[in-house]
A and B are shown apart, each in its own frame.
Chain A
Amino acid sequence: MSTFFGVTRMIRTGTLLLALLFLPSGAAAQETARDLIDRVDRLLRGQSSHAVATMEVVTENWERSMSLELWSLGTDYSLIRITAPKKEEGTATLMADDEIWNYLPRVDRTIKIPASMMMGAWMGSHFTNDDLVKESQLIDDYDIEFSYEGARDGVEVWELALTPKAEAAVVWGHIEYQVRKSDTMPTWARYYDEDGTLVRTMTFSDFQTMGGRLVPMAMDMHPEDKPGERTSVRYTELEFDIDIDESFFSLRALRSGGR
Chain B
Amino acid sequence: MSAGPWWRIGWRNLGRNQRRTLITALGLAFGYFAVVFMIGWAEGLVAEMIENGTGILTGQLQVHDLDYRPERKIYDTIGGREGSDVDRLVATVAADPAIAAAAPRVFVGGLISSGEATRAGLLMGVDPGLEPQVSRLMRGLIAGAAPAAETNQIMIGAEMARQLGVEVGDEVILVVPAADGSMGNDLYAVSGIYRTGMAELDGSYAVLPITSLQYLAALDPNRIHEIAATTTDAWLAPEAAERIAAGLAPLELGVEVEPWTRLRPEMLDYTQLAKGWYFIVIVIVFAIAVFGVANTMLMATYERRREIAVMLALGTTPWRITLTVLFEAIALGFIALVVGAVITFPLLAWWHNSPPDLSWLYGDFTMFGALVRPVLRVEYNFPMAIWTGVALLMTALLAALYPAARASRIPPADTLSGL
Spell out A's residues near B (CB within 8 Å): 57, 59, 61-64, 87-88, 91, 102, 104, 106-107, 109, 111-114, 116-117, 120-121, 123-124
Contacts and interface: CB of A to CB of B under 8 A. Distances in A.
Nearest to B173: A109
Interface string B168-205: 00000101010111110111000000000000000000
A62 B218 CA distance: 12
Contact of B113 (A87, A111, A124): A111
Given A111-B111, A124-B182, A117 B120 contact: yes
A107 B111 contact: no
A107 B185 contact: yes
Given A102-B175, A111-B175, A114-B120, A57 B181 contact: yes
Contact of A104 (B120, B175, B177): B175
B183 A123 contact: yes
Contacts, number: 56
B181 A62 contact: yes
A91 B120 CA distance: 20
A107 B177 contact: no
A255 B36 CA distance: 68
Q: Which of B120, B173, B187 has the most CB atoms of chain A within a 10 A radius of its CB?
A: B173
Given A104-B173, A112-B116, A116-B120, 17 more contacts: A61-B75, A64-B180, A64-B181, A64-B182, A87-B182, A104-B183, A107-B185, A109-B173, A111-B113, A111-B118, A112-B113, A112-B117, A113-B111, A117-B118, A120-B120, A124-B177, A124-B183
Nearest to B184: A106
B contact residues, range: 10 to 19
A111 B119 contact: no
A32 to B, nearest CB: 42
Contacts of B175: 102, 104, 111
A123 B184 CA distance: 10
Dominant SS among interface residues on chain B: strand
Contacts of B75: 61
Contacts of B183: 88, 91, 104, 123-124
Q: Which of B116, B120, B182 has the most CB atoms of chain A within a 10 A radius of its CB?
A: B182
A234 B119 CA distance: 32
What 7 pairs across the A-B complex have the smallest Cβ distances?
A: A111-B113, A62-B181, A104-B185, A64-B181, A124-B181, A107-B187, A114-B118
Given A107-B173, A107-B187, A114 B182 contact: no
A216 B117 CA distance: 38
Contacts of B180: 62, 64
A102 B177 CA distance: 14
18 contacts: A57-B181, A87-B182, A88-B183, A104-B173, A104-B183, A107-B186, A111-B111, A111-B113, A111-B175, A112-B118, A113-B111, A113-B118, A114-B111, A114-B119, A117-B111, A117-B118, A124-B177, A124-B181
